[in-house]
Amino acid sequence: MLPILERSAMAAGQAILEVYDSGPAITYKADTSPVTDADHRAERIILAELAAAFPDIPVIAEESVAAGNVPDIAGQRFFLVDPLDGTKEFVDRDDHFTVNIGLIENGEPVAGVVYAPALGVIYAAKDGQARKAMVADGRIAGGWSRIGCRQIPERPVAVASRRHSSAETIAYLAEQGITDCEAIGSSLKFCLLAEGRADLYPRFSRTMEWDTAAGDAVLRAAGGETLTMEGQPLAYGKRDQPNDGDFANPWFIARARRL
């Protein structure tokens, strides 16, 4: 499965880069978030690839959900797809945007691919192993390297959302005595934890499951964890939530290994 997910993500990334170079056409959703022709092109590519290879596995994809296309996922594994995570970064010509494909089983992210096409780097995870590779001309360059979280040091390094910070995030970092924090867009925050370049990612603002599933899969396979404020693993496939919409995440803290 993983090579197919990797190939799908890289094909979508190539389409995104073509739009990135020529300039995107931008529209806005009902929640005022931007969407571009790159989002739609990338999602069509991924959906076609997944349908051909895994016709029995339903796919929850961001733009399809926005259009009202939500397949039944009750009692079965399913994919979560964000074809272009970090659309605002993409529009502003900031290279920190990603293609995300995650596989969910029993509410857990068990496999995933995160591809940052403008940075030429891809992360993947399955069966408790996480890996990273560089990409050039749409192909893996130099082979894969296994990655893993580091133990959280006495002076941990945090990553936080570049565009969705909050007073609660600032307060949490102060309470924890964390002064080294990098603001970065997209699911790359999970991947920085997974490869041992950072230790904590507090997210005290809204995310959706397709934003987090692939990166969370990479982090968990690398030895980390993503916990809700109640200390429970972040779950996926959340429908009919009493206080939020379908597939919306609660606040969470992603972190590397504890000491």
Classify strands 78-85 and 59-61 as parallel, antiparallel or unpaired.
parallel
What percent of the chain is modeled with pLDDT above 70?
99
Is the predicted pLDDT of residue 12 greater than 60, yes or no?
yes
The confidence score (pLDDT) of residue 30 equals 74
Does residue 48 carry a pLDDT above 50?
A: yes
The confidence score (pLDDT) of residue 31 equals: 73
How many CB atoms neighbour CB 2 within 10 A? 16
Quick one: pLDDT at residue 162?
A: 73
Looking at the DSSP assignment, which residues form a beta bridge with residue 109?
104
Helix (H) or strand (E) holding 226: strand 225-228
Tell me the C-alpha distance between 259 and 256, whole Å: 9
The dihedral sign for the CA sequence 136, 140, 141, 145? positive
pLDDT band at 259 (very low <50, low <70, confident <90, very high): very low
For range 25-36, the mean pLDDT: 81
Report residue 145: phi and psi, to 5°.
-125, 135
